[in-house]
Amino acid sequence: MFVKSLTLTNYRNYERQKINFSEGLNVFWGDNAQGKTNIVEAIYCASLGHSHRTRQDTELIKWEKEAGRIALDYARSGVAGKVELTFAQNKRRQISLNSHPISLKDLIGNLNTVLFSPEDLFLIKGAPGERRRFLDREISQASPVYYHELIKYNRLIKERNALLKGIRERNTRPQMLDVWDPQVASSAAAIVQKRQATITQLNRLAAKIGKIISGDMENLRLEYEITGLSEKMTLEPEKWYNEKLAQGRETDIIRATTGIGPHRDDLIIKVNEVNLKTYGSQGQQRTGALALKLAELEFLHEATGEYPILLLDDVMSELDRDRRRELMSFIEKENIQTMITATDAAYFPEGLKARFFKVKQGAVEEKPAE
């Protein structure tokens, strides 16, 4: 899978820019605030339908313009595809695939990407929601069935919570929950089983990429934490959820929220059996986040048979020289199309096979490293 070209029109600080990519490594370098991350962000948008930096479409439109547009040409298993996204003030965004309008759920899974950016430190340091989103995004890119299940589950929880509120306010009969709970339990079990299977696979892959990240990270291990589970699950997951939902009903009604389920679970990341969130150094947390992303890359490779596009924003400045070299040779060896940004071209080893693009004030120009 690779991106052939990207055309930006009134997107962020670009008025009109076309970029033709190499199928291998593409380096975008230049000073701060010139538009490097904007390029990576646009490719991410074409893959998942939204930016990694904002949920406000209007922020993506060039200031004082009415509408902005991303058009991206790609090839997958030798078949060409074109994704277009149009953002307009006060209007819903429009997405099209090969010139046919499509919905967001039909966009996901066409062009797969894995992004690593400085904000990913929150994957380790942040709240459980960050880690759930990481897992969900990754599984969804490989499995539309999972993505649909997730939408269904979230809807069920929203409806159940509304029901709980109705019961608390004595407008609704508590028996209504008997209709909802088995559906919630069945969907919860499906999601949790898929997440657990993915984590088993990620643990295997994390060992494979250990070398790139070197030393410390070799013992990276992920564990799935189910809320409300103190020991091993002895029942079949669906039965367990049915029981737990019944047990928690009274508290759930008082709080008008559902206390257990995959929407409350967490992913625990350990190095040498110690929780990275609580005890990891800043550097360990950074490399931990990168290791997770590379495991995600391998996961999508296994699941789809093709490497996704790797988007690395500002990663070079965070790695020491040996790790930079290991990372570059991994990308070269596996032939992964990569877009990488850096403030300085000197971060890249000499003789590296790559296309260099200089980014300056919303303009991109192919130019060898200085």
* Residue spans of beta strands (DSSP E) within the chain: 2-11, 14-20, 25-29, 67-76, 79-88, 91-97, 100-101, 113-116, 220-225, 266-271, 274-275, 309-313, 338-342, 355-360, 363-366
The span from the CA of 105 to the CA of 118, in Å, is 27
Minimum distance from residue 343 beta carbon to Mg ion (Å): 8
With vertex at residue 108, the alpha carbon angle to CA 107 and CA 112, rounded to the nearest 5 degrees, is 115
Q: Which is nearer to Mg ion, 302 or 365 (CB)?
A: 365
Contacting range for Mg ion; rule: CB under 5 A; set: 34-42, 57-65, 209-217, 249-257: 34-42
Contacting range for Mg ion; rule: CB under 5 A; set: 7-15, 37-45, 101-109, 280-288: 37-45
Contacting range for ligand ATP; rule: CB under 6 A; set: 31-39, 193-201, 294-302, 344-352: 31-39
Q: Among 9, 13, 22, 161, indicate the residue that binds ligand ATP (CB under 6 A).
A: 13
The span from the CA of 289 to the CA of 213, in Å, is 11
Q: According to CB under 6 A, which residues from 139 to 178 bind ligand ATP?
A: none
Q: Among 7, 26, 38, 198, indicate the residue that binds ligand ATP (CB under 6 A).
A: 38
State yes or no: residue 37 binds Mg ion (CB under 5 A). Answer: yes
The 313-342 site mask, x for binding ligand ATP (CB under 6 A), equals -x--------------------------x-
Provide the 3-class DSSP secondary structure of residue 84: strand
What is the strand order of the sheet 266-271 is part of? Answer: 220-225, 266-271, 274-275
Beta bridge pairs of residue 338: 25, 310
The set of long-range contacts for 234-240, using a CB threshold of 8 Å and a minimum separation of 24, is: 236/189, 237/188, 237/189, 237/192, 237/193, 238/185, 238/186, 238/188, 238/189, 239/185, 240/189
Q: Which is nearer to ligand ATP, 33 or 75 (CB)?
A: 33
The span from the CA of 63 to the CA of 70, in Å, is 16
State yes or no: residue 17 binds ligand ATP (CB under 6 A). Answer: no
* Number of residues engaging ligand ATP in binding (CB under 6 A): 17
* Number of residues engaging Mg ion in binding (CB under 5 A): 1
State yes or no: residue 59 binds ligand ATP (CB under 6 A). Answer: yes
Q: Which is nearer to ligand ATP, 11 or 147 (CB)?
A: 11
Residues at the contact surface with Mg ion, assessed by CB under 5 A: 37
Residues at the contact surface with ligand ATP, assessed by CB under 6 A: 12-13, 32-38, 59, 61-63, 314, 341, 343, 359
